[in-house]
């Protein structure tokens, strides 16, 4: 009888713990979507795992940055147990999402926690160049981001800036030493990327850089 009673109590505790954890899980991801930093901080202090994944496979910090929940992201970046080098199914990191969205200060804090500036494949600089975020691009370059980093298909940040970013982003990369002559696996250059979307100002800027280097006798 005593054994049955202990088993009954144990089952009650297990059910109670499971319900509490389920409640915390829902509260955590709801707080991220609502940018509710206070609730997130309270959950973390009660022992909730900051690295819990949502049903879609998203890490909390990654999701906060993706959805622009900057106060929530700030709490998660500051939490010492948060894994800032998490990767999504597409091999995207929180720093890459911060770079794409232009969240410079959060990117700075991620780098301070050793987020990888030069991860293999697509890099944070590719993403910052895509968004044309000049301050963030400069931050990454100052942190020794490889300016001619190649994606899996050998696309460079300059190519991304040429098609998706801005002329100012193209100029920043060229001034910092980006190679305007590189081509990806499809044999497309940064000039080609610009012309695909009729960005003739960017194409001309890149072409001028090529002519200037040839004039200097680089080739």
Give the CA-trace dihedral at 121, 122, 125, 128, to 10 degrees: 180
Q: From CA 72, how far away is CA 94, in angstroms rounded?
A: 13
Give the CA-trace dihedral at 122, 125, 128, 134, to 10 degrees: -170
- Distance from the Cα of residue 172 to its chain's centroid: 20
pLDDT given for residue 23 in this prediction: 60
Write out the two tokens for 31.
Answer: 């707080």
pLDDT given for residue 141 in this prediction: 98
Q: What is the pLDDT along the chain (219 residues), one digit of tens a residue?
A: 554 444 433 333 333 333 334 469 999 999 999 999 999 999 999 999 999 999 999 999 999 999 999 999 999 999 999 999 999 999 999 999 999 999 999 999 999 999 999 999 999 999 999 999 999 999 999 999 999 999 999 999 999 999 999 999 999 999 999 999 999 999 999 999 999 999 999 999 999 999 988 777 654
- Backbone torsions φ then ψ of 103, nearest 5 degrees: -90, 80
The pTM score is 0.87
Domain residue limits, the chain: 1-83, 85-219
Write out the two tokens for 173.
Answer: 């990369």
Cβ atoms within 10 A of the Cβ of 66, count? Answer: 19
DSSP state of 52: P
The architecture (CATH level 2) of 85-219 comes to Alpha Horseshoe (1.25)
Helix (H, G, I), strand (E, B) or coil at 183: strand
State the angle between helix axes of 104-112 and 134-142 in degrees (0 to 180), rounded to the nearest 10.
20
pLDDT given for residue 217 in this prediction: 65
């Amino acid at each position: 009888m005593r054994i049955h009673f202990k088993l009954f109590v144990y089952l009650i505790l297990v059910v109670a713990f499971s319900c509490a954890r389920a409640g915390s899980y829902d509260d955590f991801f709801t707080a991220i979507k609502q940018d509710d930093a206070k609730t997130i901080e309270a959950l973390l202090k009660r022992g909730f795992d900051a690295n819990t994944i949502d049903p879609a496979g998203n890490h909390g910090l990654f999701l906060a940055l993706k959805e622009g929940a900057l106060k929530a992201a700030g709490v998660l970046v500051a939490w010492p147990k948060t894994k800032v080098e998490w990767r999504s199914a597409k091999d995207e990191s929180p720093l890459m999402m911060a770079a794409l969205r232009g969240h410079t200060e959060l990117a700075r804090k991620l780098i301070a926690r050793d987020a990888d500036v030069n991860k293999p494949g697509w890099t944070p600089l590719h993403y910052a160049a895509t968004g044309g975020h000049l301050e963030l691009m400069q931050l990454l370059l100052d942190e020794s981001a490889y300016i001619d980093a190649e994606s899996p298909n050998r696309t460079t940040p300059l190519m991304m800036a040429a098609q998706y970013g801005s002329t100012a982003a193209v100029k920043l990369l060229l001034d910092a030493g980006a190679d305007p002559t590189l081509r990806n696996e499809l044999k497309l250059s940064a000039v080609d990327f610009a012309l695909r979307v009729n960005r003739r100002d960017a194409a001309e800027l890149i072409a001028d850089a090529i002519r200037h280097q040839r004039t200097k006798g680089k080739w």
